[in-house]
Amino acid sequence: MKIIGKIGDKTDNTLDLSEGERFKTFLRRVAERVKVAEGVDAIEDILRCIYRNEPVSTKRISQYTKLPLPVVSRVRSILERSRVLKRDERGAIYTEYGRKLVEDSLKFKMKKDLKCPTCKGRGIVLDEMFKEILRKHREYAKLRPTVNTRIDQSHATPETAVYRAALMADRGDLEGKRILFIGDDDLTSIPTAMTRFPEEVVVMDIDERLLNLIEEISKREGLNIETVKQDFREELDRSYWGQFDTVFTDPPYTLEGLKLFLSRGVEGLGEGNSGVLYLAFSHKPIEEYLEVQRIINSMNFAIYELIPGFNTYEGSEIIGNTTFLARLVGKNLKKFKKEDIDLNKLYTGDVRPTVRYYRCLRCNKIYRIDGRDRVIEDLTCECGSRKFRMIKREKIKEREL
């Protein structure tokens, strides 16, 4: 950790839309300026979201487009300076000039979003039983320990955990089934066991704080959840191999993390067997998502269902606060061998090492956090405050590592 001082947080978001320039050419320049991997399509997605939902907040745009919040914020600033958008107290809206541009150049016509306002795109609604489970789980979720960002922990909302359980129940993957959680910092095992549908619920995690909390809640509710401390870099104990019907995992959002956690899930289902695995994973640029599909298919899983934006997280702006949920169905399952997984690239901090700058909300001092020696969750300002806002982030160059 290093104190920087009182630096500003402004970035150059000026990019003029020159007279006579084709709008699509301008959008390509915007995409290059913000360095978004999805290119001009991502900028069009932002514009489309605003067109259909204005006024709309930056956070909502991020969730809708599955783009990181900082990217959306920069694009919005550029479009405002270019007079395409303007600010409203309720969110982004078009100027008359901007609306004419997108209608003439991008042929936008559809002015309403057709996603179901009740289920918000998840495809299911909670009945009275699940609403009661949610009421209880909201209180239990408050007891979760602070996230450990070194191992990519990020808490899903209580609603997300309950909707996960409801989806598994709806698809027939809980009743009379043996359920294994490969990691559970979201406490999804609690609402799952509260249904009283599964025959068995087992949670494996490396974080003893979580395991102790799950045990405590399980005893209080009479849920009989079994907890096991497990470092997923090592194989599961052989006594658990092939003992489960359904696996749930929300792994680190790296390709190596995906291979590792899916491999532990295959051990639980049994190599050569069939089974169902629920995967929560971040939305990726197309090149990386193709690799995600290749990894899944190579293990003899098929993506039977994939629901974008199903999972919502607390404070995970870098992934737009959302990830998809996929229901994988497998047959003659195969796992990756240990030598085929790079254990030095399991976490996002290993793959994309990043320095973040945080401003104290009380005294405005700026701190530089590299996520290795110290993480923001451990930080206390010299003034005594523990409330900070991230104002800037930058990738660490290889020579700095």
SS (H, E, C) 292-358: HHHHHHHCCEEEEEEEEEEEEECCCHHHCCEEEEEEEEECCCCCCCHHHCCHHHCCHHHHCCEEEEE
Assigned domain for 281 exists: yes
Looking at the fold, whether 97 and 184 belong to one and the same domain comes out as: no
* 388 vs 367: CA distance, rounded Å: 9
What pLDDT sits at residue 63?
87
Q: What range does the domain containing 254 cover? A: 128-344
What pLDDT sits at residue 120?
84
Looking at the fold, whether 141 and 76 belong to one and the same domain comes out as: no
- The CA–CA distances, whole Å, from 358 to 59, 370, 391 equal 19, 11, 6
Assigned domain for 114 exists: no
Looking at the fold, whether 203 and 229 belong to one and the same domain comes out as: yes
Query: Cβ contacts of residue 241 below 8 Å, gap of 6+?
Result: 267, 268, 270, 271
Q: What is the CATH number of the domain that holds 9?
A: 1.10.10.10
Looking at the fold, whether 339 and 286 belong to one and the same domain comes out as: yes
**What three-state secondary structure class fits 4?**
strand
What pLDDT sits at residue 377?
66
Q: Which residue has the tokens 């399952």?
A: 333
Helix (H) or strand (E) holding 47: helix 40-53
Question: What does each of the 401 residues of the chain score in pLDDT, given as a tens digit?
Answer: 333 333 334 444 556 666 556 888 999 999 999 988 889 999 999 999 999 999 999 989 998 898 888 899 999 999 999 999 999 899 999 999 999 999 999 999 999 988 888 888 899 999 999 999 999 999 999 999 887 767 766 789 999 999 999 999 999 999 999 999 999 999 999 999 999 999 999 999 999 999 999 999 999 999 999 999 999 999 999 999 999 999 999 999 999 999 999 999 999 999 999 999 999 999 888 899 999 999 999 999 999 999 999 999 886 545 458 899 999 999 999 999 999 999 998 887 776 666 778 888 889 888 887 766 666 667 888 898 888 877 776 766 654 44
Assigned domain for 123 exists: no
What pLDDT sits at residue 270?
97
- How many domains in the chain? 3
Looking at the fold, whether 262 and 148 belong to one and the same domain comes out as: yes
What pLDDT sits at residue 303?
97
What pLDDT sits at residue 391?
74
Looking at the fold, whether 50 and 171 belong to one and the same domain comes out as: no
